[in-house]
Copies of this chain bind each other. A is one copy, B any other.
Amino acid sequence: MDTLSSREEEPVGRQHAQRVDLAVSTVIFALRPSPETGRMTLWLPLVRRIREPYEGRWALPGGWLAADQDLETSARRTLVRTTGLTPRYLEQLYAFGGLDRSADDPTRVVSIVYWALVHPDEAAQAIDSDNVEWFAADDLSELAFDHRTIVDYAVWRLRTKMEYSRIAHGFLGETFTLAQLRQVHEAVRGCSLDPANFRRQILASDAIEDTGQRLTGTSHRPPRLYRYNTAVQLADHGPLTPSQESKEQA
């Protein structure tokens, strides 16, 4: 055989390269209380489709890759245009390129999907319109394309990464109490945690530092306010962009 080199793979001038539409979408997570139970749960904003295929269905915010923007920049651009959101935490999730992603529609689209966390202040910037709506992650309607699969995968990714990384503060503002941080972990992991042990583990990890301030206005002993210790980096087992390798994002 003489197909040893990349001869077949790269025709002259690239004019034989298969070109596909390249979309960029994002799964954005925020925490808010469930309207029924009142417990904190995962929510995400979806955008209503206004044309075929899947017209009227809810879909992930996103758009096409811009020729003059890299992947993450395109994700941020489409995100702010469709939802108004500019998340601090944004990370690539996966590239989806199955052949049957668009049901009957024969168009081939490859999607680079990102996932993001927003805290309440960021989420408040979201566009308020009939075409943008927040849904509970565990109570989604039928979504467009394979977006339900993508959301499920992103939820799984968030849950597993929460256990070994310190992404929880993506859901919190500049300062926060240990109880708030614990509530984030409880909401995402879906179980209650011992406050005493949680405190010791977090403090031992050196992930946060005391601001010296306390939160007042509660009907009990005022809790300390903490901030994230940006000086300390933790091991990360998830996909970071190569330039961030042994650093921790956010």
Which residues of chain A have a CB within 8 Å of any CB of chain B?
A: 1, 3-10, 12, 14, 16-23, 47-51, 59, 61-71, 78, 81-82, 92-95, 97-99, 107-108, 110, 112, 127, 129, 131-132, 149-150, 152-153, 156-157, 160-161, 163-164, 235-239, 241-243, 245-246
Would you call B245 and A49 a contact (CB within 8 A)? no
A153 to B240, CA, bound (A): 9
Q: Do B12 and A51 touch (CB < 8 A)?
A: yes
Least CB separation from A63: chain B residue: B9
Tell me which residues across on chain B come within 8 A of A48, comparing CB atoms.
5
- Whether the pair A3, B81 counts as a contact (CB closer than 8 A) is yes
Give Cα A164 to B238, complex, Å: 12
Closest to A50 in B: B5
| Chain B residues, CB < 8 A from A63 | 6, 8-10
Question: Is B238's CB under 8 angstroms from A18's CB?
Answer: no
CA of A35 to CA of B213, assembled, Å: 60
A239 is contacted by which of B5, B8, B239 (Cβ under 8 Å)? B239
